[in-house]
Amino acid sequence: MHDDRTLVEARLERVLGERIRPAVYPESVPLEVAVWHAPGEPVPVAEGLAAEPEPVEVGARWGAPWGTSWFRVTGTVPEAWAGRTVEAVLDLGFDENMPGFQCEGLVYRPDGTPVKGLNPRNQWVRVGAPAEGGEEVRLHIEAASNPVILGYRPFAPTPLGDKETAGGAPQYTLARMDLAVFDENVWQLVIDLEVLGELMAELPADAPRRFEILRAVDEALDAVDLQDVNGTAERARSRLTEVLSAPAVPSAHRISAVGHAHIDSAWLWPLRETVRKVARTTAGMTALLDDEPEFVFAMSQAQQWAWVKEHRPEVWARVKEAVAGGRFVPAGGMWVESDTNMPGSEAMARQFVHGKRFFLDEFGIENDEAWLPDTFGFAAGLPQIIKAAGSRYLLTQKISWSRTNKFPHHTFRWEGIDGTRIFTHFPPVDTYNCSMRGAEIAHAVRNFKDKGAARHSLAPTGWGDGGGGTTREMVAKAARLRDLEGSATVTWETPSAFFAKAEAEYPEPPVWVGELYLELHRATLTSQAGTKQGNRRSEHLLREAELWAATAAVRTGFPYPHEELDRIWKTVLLHQFHDILPGSSIAWVHREARATYARIAAELNGVIDSAQRALAGEGTVPLVFNAAPHTRAGVPAGGARPADLEGRTTLDARPGGGHVLDNGLLRIGIDARGLVVSVHDVEADRETIAPGRAGNLLQLHPDLPNMWDAWDVDAFYRNTVTDLTGADEVTAGPDGASVRIVRSFGGSRVVQVLTLPPGERRLVVDTEVDWHETEKFLKLAFPLDLHAERYASETQFGHFFRPTHTNTSWEAAKFEACNHRFVHLQEPDWGVAVVNDSTYGHDVTRTVRTDGDGGTTTTVRVSLLRAPRFPDPETDQGVHRFRHALVPGASLGDAVREGWRINLPERRLTGAGEVAPLVTADRDAVVITAVKLADDGSGDVVVRFHEAHGARARATLTTGFATTGVEVTDLLERPLAETQAPPLDGDRITVRLRPFQLMTLRLKRA
């Protein structure tokens, strides 16, 4: 037989595109259209429905950037259409290639009942099935003219990312607004041909099944009368029955399809627009559930559910009904799909506390899975947090984006720093926006790394990022793929059903230990420094507010601000979303974030001040309040008393220029350039700075990645560097313990103050940058005379180690990494820590000196600022303040302590006398991360702590109040029945912890 494969395939493409798809709507009549443009921000639904619109014609331009237009469409179903299915086809000016990234709409009936969302891949509304002739049609569309930020020329700087700079030019042209006959036979034929054509293209060219499909498709196309597609569609479908009914082979891969609409809580749109995106999507998905009895839809992010409840009660009613039916499924159990690298220990825990509690309170549903398809890598401390929240599984897709190394598993157990293992799945379909195309399904099968041992994978199915969700076309394709020869089988299932099957068939999967590092988007650890600083400071202010409010509540009857703290926590958690905290959202998002963080700081400082004044009482005793988890200057952790001040610092001229700071513990040499050329540890008689090198060195790199400007820094940025060694001023500080340096470069200015506090083994570096660079990367370097093959980086509830070498491609790919409050490097008897108050990105490199002693120089560099131009063309422009400290001679325990110290400066008040801590631990290795009153209002005290040094610990907790009972709980403060409570002896509780073990205790008050 002659090979005419390409001929038939080309025929299919043309006939399907030019004749069959257009015949889905064989007849149409125009609707009458009128529009009212809402002034300013979106208006309530009732106001939009009541507004008086003006007539408008198809072809008219509409929609200023970020505007809202209320369209009213009216018409009459022609008498001749009686008994036929009729739909409104409503095209606001869509580009089908941009679902979720441009204009959208939510359709309402005149009484305010929501119908469904409109987007580029979902433009229809059923108005009769079948319709009676003469039926009047009246619909309202709340249309959002969200501008295209990520266009066909990607990453182009644009002022459209903020309503303050976007202008008022109309963005869209009103397109088709018709009533049309919907021919379901033709539509079904389209799906048949698409499924078979896509499957055929993925089969081997010499496979018999491919040619069986080819012949059937050829016959079906012969059966179509191109002048009467609607009259011959059923005949054409009959030619495909046999190939569509051939069952899959028994060994076929099994895909669990989960309806999905990944909705970024903010990204190329502001938070307020996400509220409406969620409403559009959930309205559409509840409607699709009504039409498709096998369909299952899952939605994560409790915040988004809460938005629907608060802002769209009419949609919320339908969502609640669908949840009760078991097919609209809360997923993930987190407040938002957060970044997991940068949130602190307590914040990461509270993501699960508030997320799971919302779903429990609203629906009585508890999720077993963490659902984070799009998060930019996963911190090594996360597994035990997932487990401590009562969950068992993790799903993500993002690691497939790694540029250098291919991850070796799709289903595995992920082991965290404490040994906790979480059953984890990476969907091999490699997208969280699966549309059931044959290429996607075939890719999942070929790509699946665990063949032979496992057979199940998951496919999140629906348009996402900007929402939209699953379409009826995707559901129809999945129905044909349920059991089809040549394809994986597809079944709609909930996430929990998938994980139960996957774990049952693969009880001993491979294990991956340590962080799940994404070899991409590394610059998200630095972009938008103001947002990152707001997050870090909010986390620590929340710790203080809970600690002092709980202490004051127990001691003085101070009213514990449950509702206020709950609201603020949720706001902070929202801003940890994986495009807000990472700095990859539009200017509008970060402008609002900075304002929000300022408001939060004012509120929390007010709570802290009120609680501390209640505790201090009236008096003249100078009190220092210490919110850190370690005693300092004689002030106990979580308590207040006069500080013990010891020692003094001297400041002298340095031979050859510059200054010398000396406090008897450290001697710091600062040259005439303002660079630190010596940090001598007096007790160890050890120099910290590498020979011939200088610390406190600011370095400037060009920074134009190949793509994803705010997200990425590419390795070639290191090829060019400018050391900022010129100084405008180097002067002694007025306190006699500091040196002030001023530098200018480009359009920017830096003022630094180097301080050596009396009696302390740390050099504090305060840096103020008035930043006006473009596409530059600013680093702060400390070259250390230290030989270390690995370094410790703080993460949630502990730390983990990364190599300083690049032996393999896995190590080389980690050229920019995340830490929380410290990094620590150590030789067996001596170490150095670099601690920070608000930065995350860093790099550590090592070289061997070829002159002099031939020793090793290990350089720690802190990432301060970037200046990408997309999606925010003014990223980080303006004044920023950072604080770092270099701690020579530091053990890991010192690094932990100093990291907390720099983030929780002491507060000073006068009062009646000392304030005893509410709870203390007698071992520095046992770090208390939270002291608070129980969320249920019972008055119980909740204490969360962990082992922080990476060793076993036996510690005694002492309570500063009468305690009648102790329970070990999960993060949601629920007793763990299988865990024996530690013994209580009066006011003492003895605990034993494994390395990095996290524990939460609930202490009942007398």
Residues with catalytic roles = 374
Q: Other C-beta atoms within 10 Å of 365: how many?
A: 17
Residue 659 main-chain phi, psi, to 5 deg: -145, 160
Query: Which segments of 173-270 does DSSP mark as H helices, in order?
Result: 184-202, 208-223, 229-238, 241-245
* 334, 735, 754, 863, 894 from 763: Cα distances, Å: 39, 15, 7, 18, 14
**Tokens at residue 667, please?**
């001697």
Angle at 145 between CA 139 and CA 148, to 5 degrees: 140
Of 856, 847, 790, 848, which Cα lies nearest the Cα of 824?
Answer: 790
CB < 8 Å & 24+ apart, contacts of 316-320: 318/114, 318/282, 318/283, 318/286, 319/282, 319/286, 320/362, 320/363
Any idea what DSSP says for residue 38? Answer: E
Helix (H, G, I), strand (E, B) or coil at 421: strand
Cα atoms found within 13 Å of the Cα of residue 357, Cβ hemisphere only: 15
* 138, 217, 353, 661 from 94: Cα distances, Å: 21, 31, 40, 66
Of 347, 325, 322, which Cα lies nearest the Cα of 336?
Answer: 347
* 136, 181, 183 from 86: Cα distances, Å: 12, 5, 9
- Residues 452, 240: Cα–Cα separation, whole Å: 32
Helix and strand element counts for the chain (H, E): 19, 53
Q: At what angle do helices 184-202 and 5-15 cross, to 10 degrees?
A: 150
- Residues 712, 704: Cα–Cα separation, whole Å: 9
Q: Which residues contact 844 (CB under 8 A, 6 or more apart)?
A: 791, 802, 804, 817, 823, 825, 858, 859, 860, 861
What is the distance, to the nearest Å, from the Cα of residue 97 to the centroid of all Cα atoms in its chain? 25
- Residues 931, 368: Cα–Cα separation, whole Å: 27
Q: Which amino acid is at 229?
A: V
Query: Which segments of 16-117 does DSSP mark as H helices, in order?
Result: 45-50
Residue 222 main-chain phi, psi, to 5 deg: -65, -35
Phi-psi region of 513 (alpha: psi -120 to 50; beta: other; left: phi over 0): beta
Length of the chain as a residue count: 1006
- Say if CB 233 and CB 193 are below 8 A apart: no
* 41, 291, 300, 595 from 591: Cα distances, Å: 17, 42, 26, 7
Of 202, 900, 942, which Cα lies nearest the Cα of 549?
Answer: 942
Cα atoms found within 13 Å of the Cα of residue 817, Cβ hemisphere only: 29
* 167, 568, 810 from 814: Cα distances, Å: 41, 34, 7
- Say if CB 713 and CB 520 are below 8 A apart: no
- Residues 588, 229: Cα–Cα separation, whole Å: 50
Q: Which amino acid is at 603?
A: E
Peptide bond into 995 cis (omega under 30): no
Q: Which residues contact 661 (CB under 8 A, 6 or more apart)?
A: 649, 650, 651, 667, 668, 670, 737, 738, 739, 754, 756, 763
Residue 541 main-chain phi, psi, to 5 deg: -65, -40
